[in-house]
Amino acid sequence: MIEAVGLTKRYGAKTAVYNLSFQVRPGTVTGFLGPNGSGKSTTMRMILGLDAPTAGQVTIGGYPYRKLPNAPRQVGALLDAKAVHGGRHARNHLLCLAQLSGIPARRVDEVLGVVGLQDVAKKRSKGFSLGMGQRLGIAAALLGDPQVLLFDEPVNGLDPEGILWVRNLMKSLAAEGRTVFVSSHLMSEMALTAEHLIVIGRGQLLADMSVRDFISANSADFARVRTPDTEPQQREKLTAALTEAGGQVLPEADGALRVMGLALPRISDLAHDADVRLWELSPHQASLEEAYMRMTQGAVDYRSTVDPRAGLQEQLPPGAAPQSQPPVPGHGQPGWYAPPPPQQGGQPFAMPQGAPGAPAGAQPNPYAGAAPQAPASPEMTKRDSEEAR
């Protein structure tokens, strides 16, 4: 188990993490969420002993990381997939880590197979793609078969198959009773992977609860109701009945109604009593992304602004023809060529008159400029004649 108590970290005048307390329990995947600059990476570095806290403490199994006996065999981590010597083969990189921790060499081949890199084990890591680098980093984290695992953006650069593999890997590791702590900005992936969430903003704890409770606490559930589109009077009748019963009714852009404050069975009964036919009656629960955005909207440090040049382009009056495009440099000069536009009916492009192989009566191609032909060298003429034989 990972436990942080009053964790604080200051860099000069800047406080990156302040009075942060939480627990990451074994047997479940715990997601670590927060906006950019909220202190997630700093917190994970303090857990791994890479940064010393200014105040407070964080322990793993009751001990600070630096006091754990043979820590690499108890804790595995992926913080930066690029932190690899590019000149080493993938296998040699893992072998060096294994030898430093007293891990048998056969384990290197095992984890290469687990992450799917066995076929590129003898290739240098500097030629790896971002996704392959992520897999190599995950292999390094699994090398000591640890009980505690930390991953920072583990699916970054992976294709859909790789993302699914990482998701299933996290769940299987947690199902074995391990402690799995995952930081990610992909809300949709966190919703499918994590069961518990720790959310921070500007270095302080915002939430420590299950995913289901987090969504429920930071979203407004409502029901979508739709009546026949061809009978607007039924929509008005239902709106009046729901409002009279204490519900809040708002129109949706697609013609449906958003109803809050009434349960689905109650809405169905009211529609039946009002003799209104329903085409849709469905519950809506906010996604993790919606709930996260609502909670962290006041803790975002970096916000985009409207482009000041947007809307400054002069609008054309109605019916005015657009201005011609500026001339393309080189157009009409010797050697210029632009492909002709496609013709109707799928006919081939017309060839210029007089061109070799052009049919009689063919129209010239106005888009093809005459490119000067370089005189053939004696060597080329001789080689061509030999090939012709």
pLDDT band at 287 (very low <50, low <70, confident <90, very high): confident
Residues of 94-133 as b/e, b for ≥16 C-beta within 10 angstroms?
bbebbeeeebeeebbeebbeebebeebbeebbeebeebbb
Residue located via tokens 């500097």: 126
- Per-residue pLDDT at 68: 92
Is the domain spanning 220-291 CATH 3.40.190.10? The answer is no
Whether residue 238 is predicted with pLDDT greater than 60 in this model: the reply is: yes
Band (316; pLDDT cuts 50, 70, 90): low
Mean pLDDT, all residues of the chain? 82
Dig out the tokens for 209 from the structure.
């609860």
Instruction: Give Cα 284 distance to the centre of its chain.
Output: 24
Percent of the chain beyond pLDDT 70?
78
Mean pLDDT of 330-339: 54
Q: Which three-class secondary structure state does DSSP give residue 80? A: coil
- Residue 47 and residue 43: Cα distance in Å, rounded? 6
Please give the Cα distance from 254 to 226 (Å, whole number): 9
pLDDT digits (tens, 9 = 90+) for 189-198: 899 999 999 9
Q: What is the mean pLDDT of residues 291-318?
A: 70
Asked if residue 338 has pLDDT above 80, the reply is no
User: Based on the number of CB atoms within 10 Å of its own CB, is 140 exposed (0-12), middle (13-18) or buried (19 or more)?
Assistant: buried
Number of H helices, E strands in the chain: 11, 13
Please report, for the chain, the start and end positions of each structural domain, with discontinuous segments joined by +.
1-74+146-217, 82-143, 220-291
Residue 12: pLDDT over 50? yes
The DSSP element (H or E) to which 1 belongs, if any, is none
Query: Which of 117, 142, 141, 113 lies closest to 129, judged by CA?
Result: 117
| Per-residue confidence band for 356, with pLDDT thresholds at 50, 70 and 90 | very low
Residue predicted with more confidence, 66 or 310: 66
Mapped onto helix, strand or coil, the DSSP state of residue 235 is helix
Class of domain 1-74+146-217: alpha beta
Q: Reduced to 3 states, what is the DSSP secondary structure of residue 201?
A: strand
pLDDT in tens, 377-386: 555 545 555 5
pLDDT > 90 fraction of the chain, expressed in percent and rounded: 51
Q: How many residues does the chain have?
A: 389
Q: For residue 186, which of 138, 220, 151 has the smallest C-alpha distance? A: 151
Looking at the predicted structure, is the pLDDT value of residue 239 above 90? yes
pLDDT of 106 higher than 80: yes
Q: What is the DSSP letter of 185?
A: S
Supply the pLDDT for residue 384: 52
